[in-house]
Amino acid sequence: MNAVPREASSLDGLPSAQEVAVVIGGGIVGICCALYLQRAGYAVTLIDPEAPGNSTAKWSCGQMAVSEIIPLSKPGILMKVPGWLMDQKGPLALRPSALPGIIPWFLRFLMCARHSKIVDIAQSMATLTHDVYSDFAPLLDACDDKTLMGERPILEVFDDPRGLEHEQPHLDLRQSLGFKSQRLNAKEISDLEPALAGKFAHGLIFPDWRAVSDTMGFIAALTESFMAQGGRRIQTEATKIDESNGRATGVTLANGERVAANHVVVAAGNGTRRFFGALGIDVPLAGIAGYQAVVSDPGVEIRHSTIYADGGFCFTPMTRGLQIGGTIEFAANGAEPNFKRADIILEKAKRVLPEMRTSRVEYGVGYRPFLPDTKPIIDRSRRLGNVFMAFGHGQLGLTLGATTGRLIADLVAGRPTRQDLAPFSAYRF
């Protein structure tokens, strides 16, 4: 167990006007909540058992996917389930052992496949993603490294025109909500990505998407900024929300010590399940595995984060190597990772880039906290009025981290929120 500095069990010693907020969870959503609370004048303690940056978002494609607002539950999804069970090498797999536990979640998921529901979800998500860059701006301005956010757009390539035609209704919906995309031909793809010259003749460019320079480094830099501005980070688990008379009074740590607080924010991703009883909620949260491979010395240059739609993965150049990932897997809670999934990604990537060197590869997996409608929860607990919830962001934790942080700070301070948070209520299920 990590050594934990002893915390006072009261709020003595702090300025009378400064209230204390404790944030449980130090991933991208948690650190952004902590930073925005800090900016609002709270004394903030962040609690997480992992080293800064070692979180679910570390094992992601690193994209600010501002128009990735279409839920996973697209029309025809039910017909694909047998294929997911049979083909464990596909971009989305379902382990047979997961079936008993996943069925209730999956039934809710299928209910979101209606066109009207998809439009409703996309409209709600767009209200959040339109503010991504303006919400990240003040947090990144306070960091020493000014290259954390890349400036290049994101590409998507297809094997043939059928993939583009299949995506067209979703592209139209995105466009109707203010997001841009442009078709690319073979020459335009090769001009942007010489390593892909002659390999793809059909593609898209998303001019309003960006990628971070490194997923782990991005979160670590934000954490360093938080601590440089007086924030406190305790590297251990929070095991309990302490309460009295209908309000939270603090958080108990794994070693039995207690951190007192005026406000508590739970932003622990899948780890939020531990606190469902205290929060007074019972939501269908599933951890869906996303596998990644980082090639530290690939010997080939990829300039843009590039989605290979038919391959079911993407390439993202990062400071620690070329990150290749995106394949996801439904598995039972607590199941061991199946790193053969990462091997499959690497094999597919080598078919696209046969010259890529793979002598130095690191594998990883992140369990994306998904709700069946693929919308996050950004809400206040009805059971403990000074406890707030920020989890369930699925594949958009990195994208929505700062926007969620701003909204949580507004909720804690009792300020009106810019967005309507009813679609992101914990009580919508």
CATH code, 111: 3.30.9.10
CA 22, CA 250: separation in Å to the nearest integer?
A: 8
Please, which residues have CB within 8 angstroms of residue 126's CB and are 6 or more apart in sequence? 67, 69, 177, 178, 179
Same domain, 279 and 289: no
DSSP state of 417: P
- Among residues 384, 306, 262, which one has the least CA distance to residue 15? 262
| Co-location of 118 and 182 in the same domain | yes
By CB neighbour count within 10 A (0-12 exposed, 13-18 middle, 19+ buried), where does 21 fall? buried
Question: Is residue 151 in some structural domain?
Answer: yes
Based on the domain organization, do 196 and 224 belong to the same domain? no
CA distance 404 to 92: 27
* pLDDT values of the chain reduced to their tens digit, one per residue, 429 residues: 333 333 333 344 343 458 999 999 999 999 999 999 999 999 999 999 999 999 999 999 999 999 999 998 876 665 666 666 566 666 677 887 777 888 899 889 989 989 999 999 999 999 999 999 999 999 999 999 999 999 999 999 999 999 999 899 999 999 999 999 999 999 999 999 999 999 999 999 999 999 999 999 999 999 999 999 999 999 999 999 999 999 999 999 999 999 999 999 999 999 999 999 999 999 999 998 999 999 999 999 999 999 999 888 999 999 999 999 977 788 777 778 888 888 888 999 999 999 999 999 999 999 999 999 999 999 999 999 999 999 999 999 999 999 999 999 999 999 999 999 999 999 999
Instruction: Report which DSSP code applies to 110.
Output: H
CATH at 398? 3.50.50.60
Residue 339's CB: how many other CB atoms inside 10 A?
A: 13
In a domain, 334, yes or no: yes
At which of 343, 370, 397 does a domain end? 370
Give the total number of structural domains in the chain: 2
Q: Kindly report the number of other CB atoms within 10 A of residue 138's CB atom.
A: 13
Residues 293 and 316 in one domain: yes
Confidence (pLDDT) at 10 = 37
d(CA 413, CA 36): 11
Q: Which residues pair with 364 in a beta bridge?
A: 292
Is there a single domain that holds both residue 312 and residue 275?
A: no
Between CA 379 and CA 51 the distance in angstroms is 27
Q: In 3D, which of 95, 97, 74 has the Cα closest to residue 86?
A: 95
At which residue do the structure tokens 């650190």 appear? 31
User: Are 290 and 279 found together in one domain?
Assistant: no
d(CA 384, CA 192): 52
DSSP alpha helix (H) spans, 303-396: 340-352
Residues 207 and 154 both lie in one domain: yes
CA distance 392 to 368: 8
In a domain, 6, yes or no: no
- Is the domain of 159 the same as that of 303? yes
Token output for 256: 């039995």
The runs of H, that is alpha helices, within 58-141 are 77-86, 99-111, 115-129, 132-141
Specify the pLDDT at position 95. Answer: 81
Domain closes at, from 333, 352, 370? 370
Q: How many CA atoms lie within 13 A of 202 on its CB side?
A: 12
Question: Residue 6: its pLDDT value, please?
Answer: 34
Instruction: State residue 80's pLDDT score.
Output: 66
Torsions phi, psi of 204, nearest 5? Answer: -135, 155
Give the separation between CA 375 and CA 63, rounded to whole angstroms.
Answer: 18
Contacts of residue 207, defined as CB under 8 A and 6 or more positions apart, other chains included, come to: 153, 180, 181, 182
Whether residue 43 is contained in a domain is answered as yes
Across the chain, how many H-helices and E-strands are there? 11, 20
Please report which helix (H) or strand (E) contains residue 369, including its range. Answer: strand 361-370
Q: Which residues of 27-45 are buried (b: 16+ CB within 10 A; e: fewer)?
A: bbbbbbbbbbbbbbebbbb
Q: Are 154 and 215 in contact (CB under 8 A)?
A: no
Same domain, 242 and 177: no
CA 117: distance to chain centroid?
22
DSSP β-ladder status, 63-64 and 92-94:
unpaired
Domain extent at residue 227: 20-56+217-284+374-424
| Domain assignment of residue 129, yes or no | no
Q: Determine the Cα–Cα distance for residues 115 and 13; give it in Å rounded to an integer.
A: 56
Cα 24 to Cα 268: distance, rounded to the nearest angstrom = 6
For residues 89 and 186, membership in a common domain is answered with yes
pTM for this entry: 0.93
Greatest C-alpha distance within the chain: 67
Indicate whether 75 and 167 sit together in one domain: yes
Phi, psi of 135 (to 5 degrees): -75, -35
Which residues are CB-neighbours of 198 under 8 A, at least 6 positions away? Answer: 186, 190
Both structure tokens of 81: 């389930």
d(CA 255, CA 4): 8
Same domain, 46 and 33: yes
Q: Looking at 329, 348, 370, which one is the last position of a domain?
A: 370
Task: Look at residue 337 in the predicted model and tell me its pLDDT.
Answer: 87
Per-residue tokens: 277: 């009883």
Structure tokens at 199: 């390999």
